[in-house]
């Protein structure tokens, strides 16, 4: 009995000490970044603490807009893209924007530090074949400190459509499977 109690207390201590720390070790080619804000359900602004340039100079606190690869959430404000989504889905722009705000809120809730309203997590960026789009945004798969991929969480939870744009297709099959399951099980935006 005493051994069981001791084991249980050690287990609790390990969980308590590791809470909030990186448990999952990202591959060394991933780039560590701090989320500063969420623009849309599929777009965030990050700060990269330090980047080596020409293997000797260090650039610090670079800010980038990151577009999550492989997913597309409804727009959260009126723009050209919301009009396209409206035409494609046959829903009015007001509905598209309401759905976009829900997707944005979901993404914010996943990225927020526990118990904090305005502080966001540190994440890891994984790039595919094409690291940047024509608008200058970084294109990335965003990994959380626990080893879960944000892109996948969003689409599996029913807040995004799959959006495959070659050559960035590494996880397209996973995203398509998640999308179908979310629609089938009426998760997120697909609730009736």
Q: Is 137 a catalytic residue?
A: yes
Q: What domains appear along the chain, each with residue ranges and CATH number?
A: 2-190 (2.40.50.90)
**74 phi, psi to nearest 5 deg:** -60, 150
List the structure tokens of 106: 């979901």
Q: Is 134 a catalytic residue?
A: no
Convert the pLDDT of each residue in 112-130 to its tens digit.
988 787 778 899 999 999 9
pLDDT at 21: 53
- How would you write the pLDDT of the chain (192 residues) with one tens digit per residue? 554 444 444 444 444 444 455 578 999 999 999 999 999 999 999 999 887 777 777 888 899 999 999 999 999 988 888 888 888 888 888 989 899 999 999 999 999 988 787 778 899 999 999 999 999 999 999 999 999 999 999 999 999 999 999 999 999 999 999 999 999 999 999 987
pLDDT at 1: 56
Q: Which of the following is catalytic: 81, 112, 137, 187?
A: 137
Q: Which of the following is catalytic: 67, 75, 121, 126?
A: 75
- What does the chain come to in residues? 192
pLDDT at 2: 53
pLDDT at 81: 83
Residues 6+ apart with CB under 8 A from 141: 68, 69, 70, 125, 126, 127, 128, 149, 150, 151, 170, 171
Q: Which of the following is catalytic: 63, 77, 87, 184?
A: 63
């Amino acid at each position: 009995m005493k051994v069981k109690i001791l084991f249980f207390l050690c287990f609790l201590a390990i969980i308590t000490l590791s809470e909030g720390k990186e448990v999952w070790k990202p591959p060394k080619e991933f780039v560590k970044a701090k989320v500063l804000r969420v623009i849309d359900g599929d777009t965030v602004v990050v700060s990269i603490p330090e980047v080596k340039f020409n293997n000797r100079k260090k650039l610090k606190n670079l800010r980038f807009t990151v577009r999550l690869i492989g997913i597309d959430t409804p727009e959260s404000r009126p723009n050209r893209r919301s009009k396209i989504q409206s035409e494609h889905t046959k829903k009015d722009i007001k509905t598209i924007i309401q759905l976009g705000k829900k997707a944005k809120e979901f993404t914010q809730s996943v990225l927020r530090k526990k118990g904090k309203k305005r502080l966001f997590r540190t994440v890891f960026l994984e790039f595919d074949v094409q690291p940047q789009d024509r608008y200058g945004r970084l294109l990335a798969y965003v990994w959380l400190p626990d080893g879960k991929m944000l892109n996948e969480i969003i689409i599996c939870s029913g807040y995004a459509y799959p959006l495959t744009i070659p050559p960035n297709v590494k996880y397209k099959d996973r995203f398509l499977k998640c999308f179908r399951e979310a629609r089938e099980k009426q998760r997120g935006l697909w609730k009736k």
